[in-house]
């Protein structure tokens, strides 16, 4: 599988290594790295700054839709919400951690982001990247179902919890998994034909090699 422009979709639960995997792929293969989890965190941050509670999100978005745009920093695409790009640390606060899964389950929020996220393919092409690697929880099933390669990451629960704690997260993996898999809109699930990798069994170099070989870049 070797195309001039590669589109890779990475899905998986919290702490499975999506960002680490996407980052190394972006660095080595000159891909634009799009972290859709940060999109939901940015929207959540925007809503909390505007004192919009999760219960009021639908009404707020029906009356006022924030503008979305991209800023490219290195090989990462950062989401700007009404001209605001939030520093990474501000997206990992206790308040954002608490609300982000609830905000992400709102259909209007996912609709707001849907076209923007799909549009990142053109953003990557316009900025002369060799392709796109997008990570999240509904990339292979909803956002990029026709990706050149769909990857589904899993890992042992204890390892995932340790990774989350290292990232400053305090929510339990079991609780996050329940929210991710049980929501009615775009629940987390493995897409058909995806490359399944257990990141608790392999090093990041092994994971990279498996993916690179699959797309003919190994």
- Residue 77 in any domain: the answer is yes
- Residue 217 in any domain: the answer is no
Give the domain extent around 42: 6-212
Per-residue pLDDT tens over the stretch 43-98:
999 999 999 998 999 999 999 889 999 999 999 999 999 999 999 999 999 999 88
Per-residue pLDDT tens over the stretch 183-199:
777 788 999 999 999 99
- Residue 205 in any domain: the answer is yes
**3-state DSSP of the chain:** CCCCCEEEEEEECCCCCHHHHHHHHHHHHCEEEEEHHHHHHHHHHHHHHCCCCHHHHHHHHHHCCCCEEEEEECCEEEEEECCECCCHHHHHCHHHHHHHHHHHCCHHHHHHHHHHHHCHHHHHHHCCCCEEEEEECCHHHHHCCCCCEEEEEECCHHHHHHHHHHCCCCCCHHHHHHHHHHCCCCCCCCCCCCEEEECCCCCHHHHHHHHHHHCCCC
CATH assignment at residue 196 = 3.40.50.300
pLDDT band at 164 (very low <50, low <70, confident <90, very high): confident
- Residue 1 in any domain: the answer is no
pLDDT reported for residue 23: 98
Per-residue pLDDT tens over the stretch 95-153:
998 899 889 989 999 999 999 999 999 999 999 999 999 999 999 999 999 999 999 99
Q: What is the number of domains present in the chain?
A: 1
pLDDT band at 20 (very low <50, low <70, confident <90, very high): very high
pLDDT reported for residue 133: 98
- Residue 165 in any domain: the answer is yes
Angle between the 173-182 and 157-166 helix axes, to the nearest 10 degrees?
100
């Amino acid at each position: 599988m070797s195309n001039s422009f590669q589109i890779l979709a990475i899905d998986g639960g919290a702490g499975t290594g999506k960002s680490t995997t996407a980052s190394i792929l972006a660095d080595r293969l000159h891909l634009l790295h799009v972290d859709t989890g940060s999109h939901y965190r940015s929207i959540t941050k925007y809503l909390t700054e505007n004192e919009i509670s999760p219960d009021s999100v639908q009404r707020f978005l029906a009356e006022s839709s924030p503008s979305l745009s991209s800023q490219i920093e290195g090989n990462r695409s950062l989401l700007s919400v009404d001209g605001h790009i939030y520093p990474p640390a501000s997206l990992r606060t206790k308040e954002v951690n608490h609300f982000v899964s609830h905000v992400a389950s709102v259909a209007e929020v996912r609709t707001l982001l849907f076209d923007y996220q799909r549009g990142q393919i053109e953003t990557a092409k316009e900025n002369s990247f060799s392709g796109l690697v997008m990570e999240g929880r509904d990339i292979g099933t909803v956002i990029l179902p026709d990706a050149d390669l769909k990857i589904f990451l899993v890992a042992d629960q204890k390892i995932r919890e340790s990774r989350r704690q290292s990232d400053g997260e305090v929510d339990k993996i079991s609780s996050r998994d329940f929210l991710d898999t049980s929501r009615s809109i775009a629940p987390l699930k493995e897409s058909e034909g995806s490359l399944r990798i257990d990141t608790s069994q392999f090093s990041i170099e092994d994971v990279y090699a498996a993916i690179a070989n699959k797309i003919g870049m190994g």
